[in-house]
A and B are shown apart, each in its own frame.
Chain A
Amino acid sequence: GAGVSQSPSNKVTEKGKDVELRCDPISGHTALYWYRQRLGQGLEFLIYFQGNSAPDKSGLPSDRFSAERTGESVSTLTIQRTQQEDSAVYLCASSLEDYSNQPQHFGDGTRLSIL
C-alpha cells in the first residue's frame, strides 16, 4: 500500500515569504506527527494530531509555525514570514494508533531552503 506522502519534495523561497507543506498519511493511521531535521542533526518534534483531539503543539518553535489536520486525513504545516533558520527538512510521520509501542512511518520529507 501507499506510504506517507509529502509535497513538495523541495521548496526554495525568499526570506519573509509564507510556505505551506503537505502530508498525506497512511490510510487508517490516526496519529500524525511533524518533525524538523536540521542538517546533520536528529529530529525535533513540532506538532502532533490524534483524531479529533486537540493537537499537541508543544514543539512549535514560534508563533510563525502552525498546522492543521482535517479528521484523519491530510495535514498542512504552514510557516509564515520565513527566516533563514527555518531551512531544514520537514518530516511527517503517521502511526496506526496513539500508543508508544506503535512504530512511526515517515515520508521522505520536504527540503525547505530559505534564501
Chain B
Amino acid sequence: SQQGEEDPQALSIQEGENATMNCSYKTSINNLQWYRQNSGRGLVHLILIRSNEREKHSGRLRVTLDTSKKSSSLLITASRAADTASYFCAEPLIGAGSYQLTFGKGTKLSVIP
C-alpha cells in the first residue's frame, strides 16, 4: 500500500530556528495532510494541501507539494519549545469505500529552549 516516508527521522534545533521536514510518497494523490503528535497523545491535523496546490500557509507553517517528484515539505518557522512533537504526513488511500489515511513513521522534532 502507498505510504509516505518522512525525512529526517529525527531533528533537533534551537528555539527560534526554522525546522524543515520532508515527505515522499509512492502513488498519485488527491491531497496530502500533515499531522502532529505530542508524546502520549493522539494526532492533531495541521494542514491539508490538495494535489493542484503547490504551497499553503497556516500561521508559522508552510507546506509545499511537488507532485512531479511525489514529495512534500513542512516548514515550521521561528520554532518554539512547544513545537516539540512527532510530525507525520498522510495520504488518503481509497479502500473499500473508505478514505483511510496511510502514514509514514514520522519525524521526531526536538526544539531546545
Using a CB–CB cutoff of 8 Å, the interface residues on chain A facing chain B are: 4, 31, 33, 35, 40-43, 45, 48, 50, 53-54, 56, 58-59, 91, 93, 98-109
Contacts and interface: CB of A to CB of B under 8 A. Distances in A.
Given A101-B30, A101-B31, A42 B95 contact: no
Q: Which 10 pairs between the two chains have the least Cβ-Cβ distance?
A: A106-B42, A42-B103, A100-B92, A103-B45, A48-B98, A45-B100, A56-B98, A100-B99, A56-B96, A106-B43
Chain B contact residues (Cβ within 8 angstroms of A): what range?
20 to 34
Main secondary structure of the interface of B (DSSP, over half): strand
A4 B51 CA distance: 28
B69 interface: no
Interface in B29-45: 30-31, 33, 35, 40-45
A113 to B, nearest CB: 14
Contacts of A4: 42
Contact of A40 (B92, B96, B100, B105): B105
B67 interface: no
Contacts of B97: 48, 50, 53-54, 56, 98
Contacts of A54: 97
Given A48-B98, A99-B99, A109-B41, 9 more contacts: A33-B98, A42-B3, A42-B104, A58-B96, A98-B99, A100-B30, A100-B94, A100-B99, A104-B101
